[in-house]
Amino acid sequence: MEILSSRVIVHPRDLAASRAFYEGVIGLSIYREWGVGVAYFLGGGHLELSAGPAHGATTLWLQVPSLDGVEAALRSAGVMVSKPAERMPWGLIELWVADPDGNELRLVEVPVDHPIRVRPRT
């Protein structure tokens, strides 16, 4: 089986607040829209927001080129930071924040010396 793309589906309590957060604060670009939802480009996949009942927590892992200044910018936009940016034991630099529904976003910077940046030679 070959997977060409991926999508995370979130059912927000307040679609307008979530759209404002993902478009205005995080800066995601719209892939397509329909009556009760919107899908955003999300690197190699997509994020979909669909109106309807909330279905528990969702975690989004979002790789960014650099976390320099990101935490301060998010805090100044009123975003709740649950874990400040730090290098994790597995070597990635992660900043954990929450969207308006309390879903966790893990913003991840992959340092140049991290093994997932290097393809093993065979």
pLDDT in tens, 46-66: 888 887 665 556 788 888 889
pTM: 0.73
Q: Is the pLDDT of residue 10 over 60?
A: yes
Domain count, the chain: 1
pLDDT tens-digit series, residues 66-113: 999 999 999 999 999 999 999 999 899 999 999 998 888 888 898 998
Question: Residue 60 belongs to what domain range?
Answer: 7-117
Flag whether 2 is in a domain.
no
Flag whether 53 is in a domain.
yes
Supply the pLDDT for residue 1: 45
Nearest to 12 by CA among 61, 60, 53, 59: 53
Flag whether 1 is in a domain.
no
Q: In sequence order, what are the residues at sequence separation of 6 or more whose Cβ sits closer than 8 angstroms to the Cβ of residue 36?
A: 15, 50, 51, 52
